[in-house]
Amino acid sequence: MPTPTRAAVVESGGAPFTLSDVELADPGPHEAVVRMVATGLCHTDLGVASGGLPFPLPGVLGHEGAGVVEAVGPAVTGVAPGDHVVLSFTSCGDCRDCRGGHPAYCATWLPLNLIGGRRADGTGTISRGGEELGGHFFGQSSFAERALVDERSLVKVDPEVPLASIAPLGCGVQTGVGAVWNVLKPVTGSTVVVLGAGAVGLSAVMAAALTPATTIVAVDRVAERLSLARELGATHTVNAAEADLGEALAGITGGRGADGVVETTGNVGVLRQGVDALAARGTLVVVGAPPFGTEVALDVNGLLGGKRIVGLTLGDAETQTFIPALVELVKEGRLPLHRLISSYPFTEIDQAVRDMGAGKAIKPVLTF
């Protein structure tokens, strides 16, 4: 029997989120029904809702869910009803990258998570009045009171940690932390620069503070975010609205440049400044995503000193090991994620969207 639930539906590109009664399909062999407790709001949700990505609308978004398992398909082995879960991206489990521990680079990542709106076999997961809606967003579509979730999106977590405090781990936090831990891997005395102090950038700052990096620089145009970055572990801050970024970083690094840069803004001008500010053999991680087709010009001779530019999806994390470790750090107070979160009732999703757009909320979390 289909499961009735209430979801926030985007009717068309640029339309607001409107609450609507929908039905979830029966769970397939490798799916579970999850009662949502909380879900984070991410810029990717807003990008799709604006019509900026070819996701089938009307549809249900949401990809930073956290909740309690209610029912599982017959082939699900990793979780059982009653388990607390954080929801993350899904993957095929069978391609070379999935088998190699890099599911964020799954051969079918784009259709399975971001633009397909359906299961891998082409069937839908959500309908309304008999009409199929776009769903299966990141294997979850968690802007709903209940979600039909792909088994590979489910991560069982410690039930003692409040779900509303860890919902953003599935995308934004995992991305920022993974940029530092999985790609930059700072060594003793390193300099890490984080461009943009939003949820992903501040997660990277917190992650860098848990490494042997000795200089951690946060860059933004909003003074309040820079002061928060300092409280979360940044040793230096640069207000890009007031200072020349290249000069400021040269001053902080004694002219040597940065060993690692995390670019979260999606602004190609900022990306170019970050590459120029790298030390010899330094690495810049590209996290922020501008519109499809965007290009950036680089000084080729400037790259010959061993500079590396690495693109990143979802922190290049293997979710089943990475997310429980982050939950443990949140529980111990070593990853103070609560400093980024603003809570909103699910019914106030549009207010959360407005506050995020206006920069008032770093990481809105909707609670059910």
Q: Give the pLDDT score at 53.
A: 85
Q: Cβ distance 20 to 11 under 8 Å?
A: no
Please give the Cα distance from 14 to 102 (Å, whole number).
Answer: 33
- Percent share of the chain, pLDDT over 90: 96
- Looking at the domain that runs over 174-313, which CATH code has it been given? 3.40.50.720
pLDDT band at residue 328 using 50, 70 and 90 as cut-offs: very high
Task: Provide the CATH topology of domain 3-156+336-367.
Answer: Quinone Oxidoreductase; Chain A, domain 1 (3.90.180)
Tell me what the pLDDT averaged over the chain comes to: 97
**pLDDT digit string (tens) for 254-283?**
999 999 999 999 999 999 999 999 999 999
Q: What is the DSSP string of 5-47?
A: EEEEEE-STTPPEEEEEEEEPPP-TTEEEEEEEEEE--HHHHH
Higher local confidence (pLDDT), 237 or 293: 237
Which contacts qualify for 309-312: CB closer than 8 Å, 24 or more apart?
309/275, 309/283, 309/284, 310/183, 310/283, 310/284, 310/285, 310/286, 311/285, 311/286, 312/175, 312/178, 312/179, 312/183, 312/285, 312/286, 312/287
**pLDDT digit string (tens) for 133-156?**
999 999 999 999 999 999 999 999
Q: Give the residue range(s) of CATH 3.90.180.10 domains in the chain.
A: 3-156+336-367
Average pLDDT of the segment spanning 224-244 = 97
pLDDT band at residue 54 using 50, 70 and 90 as cut-offs: confident
Put simply, whether the predicted model's pTM sits higher than 0.95 gets the answer yes
Average pLDDT of the segment spanning 69-73 = 97
Helix axes 223-231, 199-208, angle to 10 degrees: 30
Q: Supply 154's token pair.
A: 């489910």
Q: Give the residue range(s) of CATH 3.40.50.720 domains in the chain.
A: 174-313
